[in-house]
């Protein structure tokens, strides 16, 4: 197999190796998938300024996200069912992130539990929280994250109800896969995935099964989760969560300047501009189109982070140039994980690091902390005009 040189190389390999329902879960959006596609394609509208005859030596991508040092302005985003892209997927991704010097964010809906990940990585990681109606469970979950040494809590605000995810419905998404004829045929063509999965006991939602009264298997879990996402979640709940947590709090799912204003007033440490990877409201703005307005609204009062559509180091650089203090990659690392396990996640991070480093140099800068609208053709206004055009 040739060495993967781009995130697209990893995506194509993952598509061959990961069962259809789990590949589609990672690589799809809501309804028409218009917002999902725009997240990625809108980056190409932003043009970079090439500079010449400048000193390009001694370059650095090191910076900070929420006051924590990172080797580059990238974190692994929280993604559900990561352990179904590859056996023990969350553990492998966390180890790769630790080696790369970037944060890993564990999803509430992970296959490997908080405790599993903590046992297999020496680096602090972040934990993402979905708010359920069962507040006692949520309080216990927060305490488990604290006990595991998580150094930030990422509260997702844009999944009070589930978006229209047609591929997941058609595929009968479940963990582990239901033994239907269609699934069994598909699994027969994924021997590598099957052998790895047979070798691990981690095949269901480790943060939930065994931690909720009455939820002991996949059948009871399905019924519980279907009724538990809280549609009444509101800004008043954030104070309760912040008090329970007591540490760094990041609010994920901000796409509108009015919501950004509420986030800034909430006492949170950072917000993430995100449309849930285009998997919630189809027809919403792409994340990169929403970013400049949110930075303008609250960027001097709360740290603005970015999530959505990043497939290269150039995309990271463009988001930073438009005011993001850091970025999250989800699908990019999932492709690597599905393609090659821990080695694939490392490859994805190496690809993004190299692309960002080379692009920054060719734009005439040596330190990621110096990157701003100067690297964009027409500056911030030019980028906004191209995104709107």
DSSP notation for 233-266: --HHHHHHHHHHH-S-EEEEEE-SHHHHHHHHHT
In terms of pTM, does the model score above 0.85? Answer: yes
Percent of the chain whose pLDDT exceeds 70: 98
Mean of pLDDT over the chain: 95
3 is in an annotated binding site: no
78 is in an annotated binding site: yes
What is the token pair recorded at 156?
């997702």
* pLDDT > 90? residue 367: yes
Q: Is residue 2 part of a domain?
A: no
Q: Is residue 64 part of a domain?
A: yes
Q: Is residue 28 part of a domain?
A: yes
* Confidence grade of residue 226 (pLDDT, cut at 50, 70, 90): confident
The pLDDT of residue 1 is: 61
Q: Please give the average per-residue pLDDT across 204-226, as a whole number.
A: 77
Place of tokens 């100067």: 374
Give the total number of structural domains in the chain: 1
Q: What is the dihedral of CA 217, 220, 225, 227, to 10 degrees?
A: -170
Q: Is residue 1 part of a domain?
A: no
* pLDDT > 70? residue 321: yes
Alpha carbons 17 and 189: distance in angstroms, whole number: 8
Tell me the CATH number at 120.
Answer: 3.20.20.70
Residues with a known catalytic role:
276
Q: Is residue 254 part of a domain?
A: yes
Q: For the chain, list the strands marked E by DSSP.
A: 63-65, 68-70, 74-76, 105-106, 126-129, 152-156, 249-254, 270-273, 303-307, 326-329
Q: Which domain holds residue 32?
A: 7-388
What is the token pair recorded at 68?
């924590």
279 is in an annotated binding site: yes
Q: Please give the average per-residue pLDDT across 211-226, as a whole number.
A: 72
200 is in an annotated binding site: no
Question: Is the peptide bond between 176 and the residue preceding it cis, with omega within 30 degrees of 0?
Answer: yes
Q: Is residue 134 part of a domain?
A: yes
* Confidence grade of residue 217 (pLDDT, cut at 50, 70, 90): low
């Amino acid at each position: 197999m040739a060495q993967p040189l781009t995130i697209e190389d990893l995506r194509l390999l993952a598509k061959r190796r990961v069962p259809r329902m789990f590949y589609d879960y990672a690589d799809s959006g809501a309804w028409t998938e218009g917002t999902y596609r725009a997240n990625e394609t809108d980056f190409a509208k932003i043009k970079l300024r090439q500079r010449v005859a400048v000193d390009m030596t001694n370059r650095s991508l090191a910076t900070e996200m929420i006051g924590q040092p990172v080797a580059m302005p990238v974190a692994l985003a929280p993604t559900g069912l990561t352990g179904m892209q590859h056996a023990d997927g969350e553990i492998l991704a966390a180890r790769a992130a630790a080696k790369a010097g970037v944060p890993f964010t564990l999803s509430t809906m992970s296959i490997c539990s908080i405790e599993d990940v903590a046992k297999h990585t020496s680096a602090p990681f972040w934990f993402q929280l979905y708010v359920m109606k069962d507040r006692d469970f949520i309080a216990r979950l927060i305490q488990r994250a604290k006990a595991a040494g998580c150094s930030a809590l990422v509260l997702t605000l844009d999944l009070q109800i589930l978006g229209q995810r047609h591929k997941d419905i058609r595929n009968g998404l479940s963990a582990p896969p239901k033994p239907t004829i269609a699934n069994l045929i598909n699994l027969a063509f994924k021997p590598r995935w099957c052998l790895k999965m047979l070798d691990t006991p981690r095949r269901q939602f480790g943060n939930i099964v065994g931690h909720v009264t009455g939820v002991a298997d996949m059948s009871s879990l399905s019924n519980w989760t279907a009724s538990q996402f809280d549609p009444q979640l509101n800004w008043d709940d954030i104070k309760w969560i912040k008090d329970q947590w007591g540490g760094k709090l990041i609010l994920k799912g901000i796409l509108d300047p009015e919501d950004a204003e509420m986030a800034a007033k909430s006492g949170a440490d950072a917000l993430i501009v995100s449309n849930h990877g285009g998997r919630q409201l189809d027809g919403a703005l792409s994340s990169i189109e929403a970013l400049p307005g949110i930075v303008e609204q609250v960027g001097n009062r709360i740290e603005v982070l970015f999530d959505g559509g990043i497939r290269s180091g150039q995309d990271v650089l463009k988001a930073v140039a438009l005011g993001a203090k850091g970025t999250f990659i989800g699908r990019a690392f999932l492709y690597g994980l599905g393609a090659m396990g821990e080695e694939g996640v490392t490859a994805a991070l190496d690809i993004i690091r190299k692309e960002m480093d080379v692009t920054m140099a060719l734009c005439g800068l040596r330190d990621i902390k110096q990157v701003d609208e100067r690297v964009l053709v027409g500056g911030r206004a030019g980028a906004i005009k191209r995104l709107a055009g």
